[in-house]
Amino acid sequence: MTETFGYAQSVCINGVIEISGQGGWYRPSSLSRIPSFPVANSSLQMLTNRTKPHTYPKDLDEHIHQAFRNVEAALKDAGGKGWEEVYSVTTYHSPMSEDSIKICGKLFGEYMPNHLPLWTAIGVAALAEKEMQIEIVVKAKSHW
């Protein structure tokens, strides 16, 4: 997505990490750094350098779990510790389903066993790529 559309996967400004929506794609093995925009106390970290189309798990549980892994990686790329610092989550589901919500709830317990984030779940007609079933956006406070 980054190479195709030219955007950052994660950014940390004044200790707050925000990430671009992460889908359930398998992350590429090669990553490259791209300079950040000039803001004091900011860092723009790893951006995917995609040379071939994303591939996605077909199984819904694995698809969502891969999106959670991608969120974890984007948070760490921006200098954070991962899900343990997340305080706000927005999930976009295509299509919205009870199974999708249950899987997210289960994974929240696995990735954030010590706290509950804010959560907004939104059903949408489509996401950026046809194979995407979920897109996850989070905000995290780096190094409480």
Residue with the larger pLDDT of the pair 134 and 33: 134
Which pTM does this prediction carry? 0.84
Domain span at 6: 2-141
| Residue 5 predicted with pLDDT over 70 | no
Confidence at residue 46, expressed as pLDDT on a 0 to 100 scale: 40
Q: How far apart are CA 45 and CA 117, in angstroms?
A: 24
**Domain total for the chain?**
1
Q: Taking the CB of residue 124, how many other CB atoms lie within 10 A of it?
A: 13
pLDDT digits (tens, 9 = 90+) for 8-39: 889 999 999 999 999 999 976 544 444 444 44
Coil, helix or strand at residue 46: strand
Q: Do 43 and 79 contact (CB within 8 A), yes or no? A: yes
pLDDT digits (tens, 9 = 90+) for 68-91: 999 999 999 999 999 999 999 999
Q: What is the CA radius of gyration of the chain?
A: 15
CATH of the domain at 52: 3.30.1330.40
